């Protein structure tokens, strides 16, 4: 399968044609469109926003507001004022644990998280529990590493104040049933906090339909710049929450002895905001939503090969279609057609934006799963290829993941090795570390093959017989 | 695809002697009558090593043991290091530590120093900056153990 995006769109990849970048779950490469949007903001529109005494400041304010509206549309949040810009997922989750947590969690209350959480959705809740004298309950995982709904049901009680969980695990790639988990939390009067760092970049997400109270994600994992992230929340929850940080922008009136707070979203955005970051994130969304692919549904190797070459051409053609010419309804119909049993009909589906990305990654991870499974000594962690996003964690015989990363690096394959900021999960898996390959729009079959070749080389270097 | 210089670097890094120490570490386990024990961690990768030393009357290292988690480079270094320092005076160990540090900086003369023993097999680490820290971790434990044991 060819890449969904043109590698030429990404200056770093274009400058390093031999590089196989398989660490997009850590951070993605940036398309020229995003880099240019940030430069353009500083070159043409830069001023401190919300100080609108002159036209330039109004322009900066407009760019910032437009970016917020773009993000809201992208994640299906009908109320753009409930989209808060932060530094990233980590800050978004700390904001909730700190502002909501301190006001709502007391001694004897329970906080429920899962055993698969990234430290960013683990440590803030653990520290809150320690500070407030609350109990931290850690929901066990099903055998495929996803949240075990039955055990979660047994764990939540009327004392449970919050259920915090990842939409997609950054280590195992399993996709959790968000609506079901949110419903379980709401049954006992708890709020549902979802870490979307590994889902928003990879699949369509509609906040209004998920049923969670807050949802967090990062810009840099979806082609946007580092240092910008998002917290989306429901209006009642955000309005009930006290501020996280205080200072400029977030106030209404400041008196000698008291202060009143600005309205949403400003209440949670103290200080001069990262306007260029927000503009860059909006450009990233524009870029991702503009990606187009077509694909036959038949699964035979032959038709898959046909499908990929066609998709590549279609994708290039798609970039020349002006946005206004695209018919969203037609795309939706095509998506519906894709969901039908296309193999029976042999139809060709046109996929756009996040649907195309999800489809592309599923195909790549399936291929990687198959290739790595063929290598003797490889253990893959997490669900089978059907229930995972584009993340693959594995080990190879007694070769430490850091050694694998070094060997692969010498062959221009970049993977992550270590605990992936999920030490509690590593303990549950019974390993000190894993290697992790993660895929994105610019990856193709050649990247997977280079990974497999590199692992064979690792076997050889560590004295294992050729398979 | 062409992979310039891939094999020489890797072959130099993963010498059979290193893999042998990784898979059959010397002085691995618990030292019952240790005078000092030090735990070092690399939070970036989760590696963790415990080094224990026992000294004789002159202050020389009588016995050394280590245990922990790590990659082939850090565990092989620990294994080789414990072999190298056993029976040595503190002055001799300081000199060896200095030679090893120079070897990691790419000093070719230091890499032939006989006192380093098996540790010379780690000279290839100098060419892989991302892994130098792995080879330094056991030495960091040693430095702290020696200063604690003074």
Q: Is residue A391 within 8 Å of A443, Cβ to Cβ?
A: no
- pLDDT band, residue A68 (cuts 50/70/90): very high
For the record, the structure tokens of B23 come out as 């898979």
CA dist A310 and A305 (Å) reads 9
Closest Cβ opposite residue A400 in set B3, B13, B72? B72
Taking each continuous run of H as one helix and of E as one strand, the counts in chain A are 18, 17
Tell me if chain B has a CB within 8 Å of the CB of A399: yes
- Residues of A with Cβ-Cβ distance to B44 under 8 angstroms: 418
CA dihedral B106, B111, B116, B119 (to 10 degrees): 70
Contacts of B3 in chain A (CB under 8 A): 410-412
Nearest C-alpha neighbor of A393 from the set A365, A413, A367: A365
Tell whether A206 is within 8 A of chain B (Cβ).
Answer: no
Residue contact B130–A398, C-beta within 8 A: no
CA B112 from chain center: how many Å?
16
Distance of alpha carbon B32 from alpha carbon A320, whole angstroms:
73
Q: Is B138's Cβ below 8 Å from some Cβ in A? A: no
Query: A348 — phi, psi (to 5°)?
Result: -105, 125
Residue of A nearest to B42 (CA): A418
Residue A311: per-residue pLDDT: 36
* Banded model confidence at residue A389, pLDDT cuts 50, 70, 90: confident
Chain B (54-83) residues lying within 8 Å, Cβ to Cβ, of chain A: 69-73
Q: Please judge whether A419 and B134 are an interchain contact, meaning their C-beta atoms are less than 8 angstroms apart.
A: no
Q: Are A94 and A69 in contact (CB under 8 A)?
A: no
The pLDDT value recorded for residue A314 is 38
- For A4, the token pair is 């969904």
Closest by Cβ to B6, choosing from A399, A411, A417: A411
As a whole number, mean pLDDT of residues A274-286 equals 98
Residues of A in contact with B128 (CB under 8 A): 406
Contact A75, A205 (CB under 8 A): yes
pLDDT at res. B7: 64
- Work out the pLDDT band at A310, boundaries 50, 70, 90: very low
| pLDDT for residue B114 is more than 80 | yes
Please provide the size of chain B in residues: 150
Rounded mean pLDDT of chain B? 91
Inter-chain residue contact B46 with A423, CB threshold 8 Å: yes
Contact: B44, A418; criterion CB under 8 Å:
yes
The helix/strand count (H/E) of chain B reads as: 5, 3
Q: Residue A295: pLDDT band by 50, 70, 90 thresholds?
A: low
- Radius of gyration (Cα) for chain A, nearest Å? 23
What confidence score (pLDDT) does residue A313 get? 38
Q: CA A120 from chain center: how many Å? A: 13
Give the Cα separation of B92 and B137 in Å (integer).
Answer: 20
Nearest C-alpha of chain A: how many angstroms from B145?
25
Q: How far is B47 from chain A (nearest CA, A)?
A: 8
Please give, rounded to a whole number of angstroms, the shortest distance from the CA of B64 to a CA of chain A: 24
- Looking at beta carbons, which residues of chain B come within 8 Å of A463? 16, 19
- Binning pLDDT at 50, 70 and 90, where does residue A341 land? very low
Sheet with B61-69, edge to edge strand ranges: B36-42, B47-55, B61-69
B8–chain A Cβ distance below 8 A for any pair:
no
pLDDT of A362 > 60? The answer is: yes
Token pair for A196:
């979307």
Residues in B closer than 8 angstroms to A417, CB to CB, are 45
A464 — contact with chain B (CB < 8 Å)?
Answer: no
What six digits make up the tokens of B57?
């009357």
Cβ-defined contact of B10 to A463 (cutoff 8 Å):
no
pLDDT at position B22 over 90: yes
Sign of CA dihedral A340, A342, A345, A351: positive
Q: Tell me what percent of chain A is helix, strand and coil, each rounded to the nearest 5.
A: 45, 20, 35
DSSP H stretches of helix in B1-150: 6-13, 16-23, 72-85, 90-104, 129-148
Q: pLDDT-based confidence at A334, cuts 50/70/90?
A: very low
Please give the biggest Cα pair distance in chain B: 60
Q: How far is A305 from chain B (nearest CA, A)?
A: 21
Q: Across the interface, do B131 and A402 touch by the CB < 8 Å criterion? A: yes
pLDDT tens-digit profile of A35-48? 999 999 999 999 99
Q: Which residues of A touch B19 (CB under 8 A)?
A: 462-463
- In this prediction, residues B1-19 reach a mean pLDDT of 75
Please identify among residues 23-42 of chain B the ones whose CB lies closer than 8 Å to any CB of chain A. 23
d(CA A391, CA A116): 14
pLDDT tens-digit profile of B37-92? 999 998 777 789 999 999 999 999 999 999 999 999 999 999 999 999 999 999 99
User: Which chain B residues have a beta carbon less than 8 Å from that of A462?
Assistant: 14, 19
DSSP state of A30: -
Q: Which residues of B touch A426 (CB under 8 A)?
A: 46
User: Nearest by CB to A407, which of B10, B19, B70?
Assistant: B10
* C-alpha B10 chain-centroid distance: 19
Is pLDDT above 80 for A342? no
Crossing angle of helices A328-339 and A353-373, rounded to 10°: 30
CA dihedral (A180, A181, A187, A191) positive or negative: negative
DSSP conformation class of A263: P
| Res. A145: pLDDT tops 50 | yes
pLDDT at A467: 63
Residue A53: per-residue pLDDT: 86
Question: If you measure CA to CA, which chain A residue comes closest to B128?
Answer: A406
Residue B50 near chain A (CB below 8 Å):
no
Confidence at residue A192, expressed as pLDDT on a 0 to 100 scale: 98
Q: What is the pLDDT of residues A199-258, one digit of tens each?
A: 999 999 999 999 999 999 999 999 999 999 999 999 999 999 999 999 988 999 999 999
CB distance from A62 to chain B under 8 Å?
A: no
B132 part of contact set with chain A, CB < 8 Å: no
The candidate with the shortest Cα–Cα distance to A328, out of A289, A297, A294, is: A289
Interval A52-58 mean pLDDT:
90
Closest by Cα among A442, A451, A314 to A11: A442
Interface contact A403-B71, CB threshold 8 A = yes
Which pLDDT band holds residue A322 (cuts at 50, 70, 90)?
Answer: very low
pLDDT score at A309 = 35
Q: Which residues of chain B neighbour A461 with C-beta distances below 8 Å?
A: 10-11, 14
* pLDDT tens figures, A72-94: 999 999 999 999 999 999 999 99
Residues B14, A462: C-beta atoms closer than 8 Å: yes
CB-nearest to A410 from B9, B19, B71 is B9
Task: State residue A253 phi and psi, 5-degree precision.
Answer: -130, 140
The yes-or-no answer on residue A307 being catalytic is no
Region label for A82, one of left (φ > 0), alpha (ψ between -120 and 50) or beta (otherwise): alpha
Q: How far is A427 from chain B (nearest CA, A)?
A: 11
Measured distance CA(A112)–CA(A115) in Å, rounded:
10
pLDDT reading at A30 higher than 90: yes
Name the pLDDT band for B1 (thresholds 50, 70, 90).
Answer: very low
User: CA A53, CA A59: separation in Å to the nearest integer?
Assistant: 11
pLDDT band at A1 (very low <50, low <70, confident <90, very high): confident
Query: Is residue A460 within 8 angstroms of chain B, CB to CB?
Result: no
pLDDT at A281 over 50: yes
Cβ of A432 within 8 Å of Cβ of B44? The answer is no
């Amino acid at each position: 399968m060819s890449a969904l995006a043109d590698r030429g769109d990404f200056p770093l990849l274009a400058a390093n044609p031999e590089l196989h970048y398989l660490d997009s779950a850590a951070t993605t490469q940036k398309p020229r469109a995003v880099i240019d949007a940030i430069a353009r903001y500083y070159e043409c529109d830069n001023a401190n926003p919300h100080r609108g005494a002159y036209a330039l400041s109004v322009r900066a304010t407009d760019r910032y507001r437009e970016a917020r509206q773009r993000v809201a549309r992208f994640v299906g949040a009908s109320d753009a004022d409930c989209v808060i810009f932060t530094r990233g997922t980590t800050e978004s989750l700390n904001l909730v644990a700190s502002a909501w947590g301190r006001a709502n969690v007391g001694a004897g209350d329970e906080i429920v998280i899962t055993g698969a959480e990234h430290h960013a959705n683990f440590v803030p809740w653990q520290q809150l529990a320690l500070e407030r004298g609350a109990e931290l309950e850690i929901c066990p995982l099903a055998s495929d590493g996803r949240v075990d709904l039955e055990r979660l049901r047994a764990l939540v009680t009327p004392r449970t104040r919050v259920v915090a969980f990842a939409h997609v695990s950054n280590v195992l790639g399993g996709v959790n049933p968000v609506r079901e988990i949110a419903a379980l939390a709401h049954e006992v009067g708890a709020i549902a906090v979802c870490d979307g760092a590994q889902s928003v970049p990879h699949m369509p997400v509609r906040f209004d339909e998920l049923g969670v109270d807050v949802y967090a994600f990062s810009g840099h994992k979806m082609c946007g710049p580092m240092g910008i992230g998002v917290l989306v929340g429901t209006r009642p929850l955000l309005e009930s929450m006290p501020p996280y940080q205080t200072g400029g922008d977030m106030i209404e009136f400041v008196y000698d002895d008291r202060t009143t707070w600005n309205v949403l979203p400003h209440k949670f955005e103290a200080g001069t905001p990262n306007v260029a970051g927000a503009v860059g994130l909006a450009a990233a969304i524009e870029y991702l939503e503009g990606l187009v692919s077509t694909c036959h549904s038949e699964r035979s190797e032959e038709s898959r090969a046909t499908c990929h070459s066609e998709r590549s051409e279609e994708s290039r053609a798609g970039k020349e279609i002006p946005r206004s010419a695209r018919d969203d309804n037609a795309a939706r119909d095509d998506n519906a057609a894709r969901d039908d049993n296309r193999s029976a009909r042999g139809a060709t589906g046109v996929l756009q934006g996040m649907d195309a990305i999800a489809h592309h990654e599923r195909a790549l991870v399936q291929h990687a799963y198959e290739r790595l499974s063929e290598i003797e000594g490889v253990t893959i962690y997490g669900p089978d290829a059907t229930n995972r996003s584009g993340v693959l964690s594995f080990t190879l015989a007694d070769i430490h993941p850091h050694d694998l990363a070094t060997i692969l690096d010498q062959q221009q394959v970049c993977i992550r090795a270590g605990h992936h900021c999920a030490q509690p999960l590593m303990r549950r898996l019974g390993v000190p570390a894993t290697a992790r390959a993660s895929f994105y729009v610019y990856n193709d079959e050649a990247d997977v093959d280079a990974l497999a070749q590199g692992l064979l080389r690792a076997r050889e270097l560590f004295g294992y017989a050729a398979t | 695809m062409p992979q310039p210089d891939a094999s020489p670097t890797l072959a130099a890094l993963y010498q059979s002697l290193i893999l042998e120490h990784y898979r059959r570490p010397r002085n691995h386990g618990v030292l019952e009558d240790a005078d000092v024990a030090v735990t070092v961690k690399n939070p970036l990768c989760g590696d963790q090593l415990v080094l224990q030393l026992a000294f004789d009357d002159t202050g020389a290292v009588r016995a050394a043991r280590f245990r922990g988690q790590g990659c082939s480079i850090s565990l092989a270094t620990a294994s080789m290091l414990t072999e190298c320092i056993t029976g040595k005076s503190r002055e001799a160990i300081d000199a060896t530590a200095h030679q090893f540090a120079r070897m990691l900086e790419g000093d070719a003369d230091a890499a032939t120093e006989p006192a380093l023993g098996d540790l010379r097999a780690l000279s290839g680490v100098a060419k892989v900056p991302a892994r130098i820290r792995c080879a330094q971790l056991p030495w960091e434990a040693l430095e702290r153990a020696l200063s604690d044991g003074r």
